[in-house]
Amino acid sequence: MSALSSNGVLMLLAVAIPLFGAIAIVLLRRWPNAREAATLITGVALFVDVLMIACAMQGGATLNLVLARPIVGLPLELTVEPLGMLFALVASGLWIVTSVYSIGYMRAHREKSQTRFYAFFAVAIAATMGIAFAGNLLTLFVFYEALTLSTFPLVTHYGTSAAKRAGRIYLGILVGTSIGLFLIAIIGTYAVAGTLEFRSGGILDGKVTGGIAGLLLVLYVFGIGKAAVMPFHRWLPAAMVAPTPVSALLHAVAVVKAGVFSILKIVTYIFGFDLVRGLDATVALQIVAAFTVIAASLIAITQDNLKARLAYSTVSQLSYIVLAALIADRAGFLGGGMHIATHAFGKITLFFCAGAILVTAHKSRVSELDGLGRTMPWTMTAFLIGSLSIIGMPPLAGLWSKYYLIEGAWFGGSAWLVAIFAISTLLNIFYLLPIPFRAFFRSARADDSLVRREAPLACLLAIGITTLGCLMLFLFPDSILELLGGAITGGALP
Amino acid sequence: MRLLEHLPALIVAVPLVAAPICALLLRTRFPYWFAIAVAWATFAMALLLMEQVLSQGVVVYALGGWAPPWGIVYVVDPLSAMMLVLVSGMAAIIMPGTLLGIGSEVVRRAKRFFFAVTLLVLTGMLGIVMTGDAFNLYVFLEIASLASYALVAMGSDRRSLPAALNYLIQGTIGATFILIGVGLIYMVTGTLNMADMAGRIQTLEGSRPLQAALAFILVGAAIKFALFPAHIWLPNAYTHAPSMVSAFFGATATKLGAYILIRFIYTVFGDEFAFGHMGIAWVLIPAGVAGAILGSLVAIWQNDLKRMLAYSSIAQVGYIALGIGLDNRDGLIAAIVHIFNHGLMKGALFLVMASVILRLGGANMTQFRGLGRRMPLTMACFVVAGLSLIGVPLTVGFISKWYLVLGAIEAGLWPIAILVVASSLLAVIYMWRVIEVAYFETATDNRPIKEAPLQLLLPTAALALLCVLLGISTEFTVEIASRAVVFLDVGL
């Protein structure tokens, strides 16, 4: 192994810092305050490290690190490219906010086994960083599986029979698709292309017939179960039994975005836009993803449980990004990449609010929320802003991603997708806005107390930060667009 | 160094001579320490031989100085060297725990001879992989087999006797088939030396006795290999044998069947005759895939975890057979690597069973309830080895599966590739059942249960650790398997 350069160390730290954090958390298990401090310090250290990687990347440095060589010619390798950089920034930044929120939530809820919770949370973040910085498809797969396994104890945190059942669905679908389809696709790609590198323009172009390429694309899209394309979406609503911080960061940001990120990355760097656009399978998959967008929205409308409704909303929004990837052009890529960031901020805000409502007012159903706007005005205002951002209203971040998605669909020659996006926006309004409306405009039920009681301060602080994020991303989307633009012009990729 | 030159003879001779000495030592403590010393000595010799093979290529040793076609010759190529390291290494790692591990699981009267018989098994196994003489291979096979039947029969569970008898009958049929095969080859080639046989077989294409010989050896080896549908002896033998014996057998016994199969197909008959002329892929691939799927399916329904692991072994044997049957480079690498890797994980898993039986008196699902709290380290080893069995990345199981699926796709057999991963998904189910019970349910009684004793825990942890280390760095396993493939058949 070559000597580590300082840039290599930065890459290593992105995975190592959260792992060391997990160890520190376990060691400090007897002192909750010190343990939570360890979580926060780890979060800040990781974010600083990721920022330094971003600066180094902008400076044109080559960042590359080989961790191990498990298979001849296929190293476990970390490297940086723009899309992964964006994903890492979003995930590590929001981890700090989620940690602040978790402290408020877990203490207010008097949760058991908090040490295990924080430790596995840190391991999951390490796996997420590995996915974001994966230098080839094998590395991505390794960390993808690590993310599934490390989040399993978080999903089954309560240990009840409901949690156990949810854990089975979670593991069954995610491991089943990844080993049964994703791995086959990876090995198939390796067999025909002889490499698994991420390369501008793809590695498959010119090496395969349309049939095989189409088959591989189908295997990838369904095999990456974390993207929750129907019919492999059931794990996401099931995962909602987890404590809310897990649903917020992992099942609205890290895990699900890891899925769509992988699809976006595979379409861009393994297939290449030209190859994907020419495949028959692409249209078929677009139809499946479009169906997922609409069907999941319709299901969301019928859900009374708040977290379940948000989960189905996530299923629907994830397929936006899958569609963006399958449009396979510049605008689609920008829209997909943007949506990873903007949806992350919007959805995490909504989950934070849902958790705040649960710990403060002990309510988990939409139908119970009447009049809550008066007792929890800050939380419900944040909920409204988050909803509007996801719907795509100005002046909020969601507008930009929707703008590029629709542009991509229009100029990509699939005008019917524009209609899908339009209908889905309407459905967004139907399932999201009734929630704040109920809270603000309906009067509370007789047996509800009217005493104004807000969420714990740590929770409110976190909600404030992510809500502000929705606004800031609207005002300053340039840096993200520039970052993503670098990926397609090809200059940034080694 | 004169002594180093005689390593190939010593590695077989030392345990062979040690076995009767061991039987003569009267108190159980003496044979125990003596057997440990012998096992580690053979392991050291195996490593030295491996080093010689890697640096100088194939080591050939003529016993008693008689030149090859007349005398018996020992040949250590990369495949043999790897098998030597696996067999002697497993013996060395498992042996220290045996005295405690066999605890109540071995009949009191038999304890005296337990170590002597174990050393005989070791002798036989080492001899099989060393020898370059077909008849000598049969002799060592019988030494190993007869001693194995005895080991199974020593179990204090009354059901171990019928299991041993069953094993004896089927094992003898297998060994006899191999003997008939060797006899037929001898009939047409007039030699017992494998290299000699190989040279003469090339001129004998289409000879009827030769075809019969391949068929006999294929069936005989398949029985030893527990290849579906010749696996009937295995579940009972593994379940009712003392757990330490199951651990040793689970890691090594079926692998010798695989070794014999590979050795005869590639070294004696040659790839061209076996696959091109006789089409044995049509036997190995369907049997392998059926074994992999059915073995895993049956494992899901087992309540006795030793039996579950036994059926899982049948499934894993299916992978090895499939790898051989694919008849391409990556397939054969997968088979050879999996022989080694599966040894590590199955060894670790059976050792966990030994620990649990020692502490709780049984290894059923009920005993595993809440075990994650009661024996956390032992269960951690179980989870690691279990993940490896499933084939999660960064474990040895993933490496095997990677090459196996790659081999299947290169052979153009996409459906087979999908069946392979489907069967590993079944492994998820049967392993996860146990993990769920151990971590989510609470124990039925309140007895305080201690962690396994160090003599058992350390070997288990060592094997579990190897499952991960050799999954991250494959320079040892894959490198040797690649060399073995080069040596076995240049035509691939």
Task: Report d(CA B306, CA B107) in Å as an integer.
Answer: 19
Nearest CB to A187 within list B406, B473, B474: B406
Task: Report d(CA B31, CA B24) in Å as an integer.
Answer: 9
Q: Which amino acid is at A273?
A: F
Q: Which residues contact B447 (CB under 8 A, 6 or more apart)?
A: none
pLDDT above 90 covers what percent of chain A?
12
CB contact under 8 A, B393 and A168: no
Task: Report d(CA B173, CA B181) in Å as an integer.
Answer: 12
Task: Report d(CA A158, CA A116) in Å as an integer.
Answer: 11
Report pLDDT for B384: 93
Nearest 5°: CA angle at B347, between B344 and B349? 110
Task: Report d(CA B168, CA B162) in Å as an integer.
Answer: 10
pTM, entire model: 0.88
| pLDDT tens string B253-273 | 889 999 999 999 988 888 888
Best residue of A149, A154, A184, A195 to probe chain B, by most B CBs closer than 10 Å: A184
Task: Report d(CA A344, CA A260) in Å as an integer.
Answer: 12
Task: Report d(CA A151, CA A157) in Å as an integer.
Answer: 10
Is residue B307 within 8 A of residue B315, CB to CB? The reply is: no
| Arithmetic mean of pLDDT, A115-133 | 89
| B304: β partners | B364
Instruction: Reply yes or no on whether the pLDDT at B43 is more than 60.
Output: yes
Task: Report d(CA A47, CA A13) in Å as an integer.
Answer: 11
Q: Using CA coordinates, name the residue in chain B closest to A216.
A: B414
Tokens 């690190």 appear where?
Answer: A65
Cα-flanking dihedrals φ and ψ of residue B73, to 5°? Answer: -120, 140
Q: Cβ–Cβ contacts within 10 Å for residue A194, how many?
A: 11
Report pLDDT for B492: 42
Task: Report d(CA B76, CA B9) in Å as an integer.
Answer: 11
Cα B314 off chain centre by: 12
Instruction: Reply yes or no on whether the pLDDT at B491 is more than 60.
Output: no
| A166: β partners | none
Torsional sign, CA A15, A16, A18, A23: positive
Task: Report d(CA B65, CA B71) in Å as an integer.
Answer: 8
Query: Cis before residue B229, ω within 30 degrees of 0?
Result: yes
Contacts of A138 in chain B (CB under 8 A): 393
| pLDDT tens string B456-474 | 899 999 999 999 998 888 8
Instruction: Reply yes or no on whether the pLDDT at A491 is more than 50.
Output: no
Cα-flanking dihedrals φ and ψ of residue B322, to 5°? Answer: -60, -45
| Arithmetic mean of pLDDT, B134-147 | 93
Cα-flanking dihedrals φ and ψ of residue B193, to 5°? Answer: -75, 130
Angular region, A136: left φ>0, alpha ψ -120 to 50, beta rest: beta
Best residue of B402, B468, B483 to probe chain A, by most A CBs closer than 10 Å: B402
Retrieve residue A313's tokens. 């909303």
Report pLDDT for B135: 92
DSSP sequence for A30-59: T-HHHHHHHHHHHHHHHHHHHHHHHHHHHT
Contacts of B394 in chain A (CB under 8 A): 70, 142, 146
| pLDDT tens string A256-281 | 889 999 999 999 888 888 888 888 88
Three-state DSSP at A69 gives strand
pLDDT tier at B315, thresholds 50, 70, 90: very high
| pLDDT tens string A282-327 | 888 989 999 999 999 999 888 888 888 889 999 999 998 998 888 8
Is residue A286 within 8 A of residue A229, CB to CB? The reply is: no
Is residue A186 within 8 A of residue A141, CB to CB? The reply is: yes
CB contact under 8 A, A184 and B421: yes
Nearest 5°: CA angle at A376, between A372 and A380? 75
Nearest CB to A180 within list B393, B410, B421: B421
Report pLDDT for A127: 92
- Which sequence spans correspond to the domains of chain B? 316-492
Three-state DSSP at A79 gives strand
DSSP sequence for B149-160: HHHHHTBSSTTH
CB contact under 8 A, B417 and A179: no
Retrieve residue A338's tokens. 């943007």
Report pLDDT for A4: 60
Lowest mean pLDDT among A406-410, A418-422, B344-348, B445-449: B445-449
pLDDT tier at B103, thresholds 50, 70, 90: low
- Helix ranges restricted to H, B154-229: 160-189, 194-201, 208-225
Instruction: Reply yes or no on whether the pLDDT at A377 is more than 90.
Output: no
Contacts of A142 in chain B (CB under 8 A): 393-394
DSSP sequence for B52-103: HHHHH--EEEEGGG--TTTS-EEEE-HHHHHHHHHHHHHHHHHHHHHHHHHG
B417/A contact by beta carbon, under 8 A: yes
| pLDDT tens string B388-401 | 998 888 889 899 99
| pLDDT tens string B202-249 | 887 778 889 999 999 999 999 998 888 888 889 988 888 888 888 898
Report pLDDT for B183: 94
Retrieve residue B80's tokens. 């043999």
Is residue B31 within 8 A of residue B115, CB to CB? The reply is: yes
Q: Cβ–Cβ contacts within 10 Å for residue B109, how many?
A: 8
Task: Report d(CA B478, CA B483) in Å as an integer.
Answer: 8
More reliable by pLDDT, B235 or A158:
B235
Strands B73-76 and A74-79, by their bridges, are unpaired
Query: In the predicted model, what is the mean pLDDT of chain B?
Result: 88
Encode A453-470: b = buried (16+ Cβ within 10 Å), e = exposed.
eebbebbbebbebbbebb
Quote the DSSP letter at residue A76: E
Best residue of B401, B405, B426 to probe chain A, by most A CBs closer than 10 Å: B405
Retrieve residue B449's tokens. 């249960």
Contacts of A175 in chain B (CB under 8 A): 390, 425, 428
B436/A contact by beta carbon, under 8 A: yes
Query: In the predicted model, what is the mean pLDDT of chain A?
Result: 84
CB contact under 8 A, B473 and A175: no
Q: Which residues contact A247 (CB under 8 A, 6 or more apart)?
A: A239, A240, A307, A310, A311, A351, A354, A355
Q: Which amino acid is at A311?
A: A
Report pLDDT for B296: 92
- Helix ranges restricted to H, A362-376: 372-375
| A68: β partners | A76
Lowest mean pLDDT among A83-92, A98-107, B87-96: A98-107
Retrieve residue B322's tokens. 């499939």
Report pLDDT for B108: 75
Task: Report d(CA A225, CA B423) in Å as an integer.
Answer: 19
Is residue A137 within 8 A of residue A228, CB to CB? The reply is: no
